[in-house]
Structure 1
């Protein structure tokens, strides 16, 4: 257990807490300890019913199900890897600057996602961190699945759109999840992540 604690304390502070909450909160929702209906981002609920916590919980929550579990793990891997690299590289010794960048990205992602009807912000935020890392390390050779290596410019052009759609085509409608027994308004919107 001390190895896990040592590893956790070695992760840069902003990445550490973002990663930890992004692991714990979806699992609490999956096991029914937290109601996922309080977590998603909805324009009407934020503006007209004053649910101001929703942009924050939408950043930290992801609907884990058998269809989305692999995609969630993939997002956690990219969050840990590239957020840690950014925070310990370019933003080394400046966690406030890194947090400021994340808050700026979060505000932009929240505005775009509210306008587009996207319910969860974990994926757009992780992809924004990946995009920033790729822009700062354009000539770096990275290794992807099964030992494939390529420059980060490939990630920007091809891998990000693939990651954006990987596993998300199986989410038919907003919170129509048999596992949680959740029902939003009867299938009036589809989840586009």
Structure 2
């Protein structure tokens, strides 16, 4: 049994496995009073005073154990894994660059609007990017109702209203997710467009191995609608045409 659990754990893609595990372990440490959440939150003045760990720990704490925490972990694990095994399959370095880019933007914005914990916002960004790259996937929400993937980030906003009453983090996550989607999936396909965000070659060599093409650029199938991972079913071509005409 223990071996089976271990095998299942190590089948999870590396970035999803490390990030989700870090979030769970951090929450357990706070719940057991081993660590104070005050030591984890993002505070620019304290960062400038040398407490640089706050740049990372603010993404690891989602609140005390409760239904809101479990929902956050479900969405984080599920859609982080969907992206890592989907449009970022074999491109761990690209996935890390996306997370670094999103985290940096979130930290910059939070400096002005005073968001202290950014895990919710980063999760929403991940969900947003997945939803825009899979616009025709019909997603079933815990078996209750079905909708197309682009509506999913707004479901997260609704859940935030229900569980903690604050939607600022989710809205910021949607904005940052759209910025990433635009510069990676929209702008390069426009006349005269080009990639504004490129993965350093040393990261490709370290995380993806030397066999990767150094001239790699995202392929057309990496663009929105190229993948069909997720719950529910992919719309048929004639249904897609009807959607686009509407």
Shorter-chain TM-score: which interval?
0.7 to 0.9
- SS for the counterpart of 1:79 is helix
Aligned CA distance change for structure 1 residues 108 and 15 (closer, same or farther; 3 Å): same
User: 2:83, 2:130 within 8 Å by CA — same for their partners in 1?
Assistant: yes
User: 1:71, 1:166 within 8 Å by CA — same for their partners in 2?
Assistant: no
Tell me how far 1:155 sits from its aligned partner.
1.8
Q: State how far apart, in whole Å, the 2-side matches of 1:163 and 1:45 are.
A: 31
Aligned to 1:85: 82
Aligned to 1:34: 35
Tell me how far 1:141 sits from its aligned partner.
0.5
Aligned to 2:11: 10
Aligned to 2:163: 167
Deviates more, 1:27-36 or 1:10-19: 27-36
Q: Cα deviation per residue 1:47-83 (whole Å; 9 max; x = unaligned)?
A: 3x22111020001123315xxx211111110111101
Q: State how far apart, in whole Å, the 2-side matches of 1:166 and 1:90 are.
A: 31
- Correspondence list, 1:1-193, <5 A: 1-47=2-48, 49-65=49-65, 69-156=66-153, 158-169=154-165, 193=169
Tell me how far 1:4 sits from its aligned partner.
1.7
- SS for the counterpart of 1:143 is strand
Q: State how far apart, in whole Å, the 2-side matches of 1:127 and 1:166 are.
A: 16
Q: State how far apart, in whole Å, the 2-side matches of 1:16 and 1:165 are.
A: 28
Aligned CA distance change for structure 1 residues 165 and 112 (closer, same or farther; 3 Å): farther
| TM-score of the superposed pair, with normalisation by structure 1 | 0.81
- SS for the counterpart of 1:59 is coil
| TM-score of the superposed pair, with normalisation by structure 2 | 0.64
User: 1:30, 1:64 within 8 Å by CA — same for their partners in 2?
Assistant: yes
Q: Cα deviation per residue 1:95-114 (whole Å; 9 max; x = unaligned)?
A: 11101100100101111122
CA RMSD, aligned part only? 1.8
Aligned CA distance change for structure 1 residues 4 and 114 (closer, same or farther; 3 Å): farther
Gaps spanning 5+ residues in structure 2: where? 170-246
Tell me how far 1:146 sits from its aligned partner.
3.7
Which consecutive aligned stretches of 4+ in structure 1 deviate over 3 angstroms post-superposition? none
Q: Cα deviation per residue 1:11-47 (whole Å; 9 max; x = unaligned)?
A: 1000000000011111111101122221011122123
Kindly name which structure, 1 or 2, has the bigger radius of gyration based on alpha carbons.
2
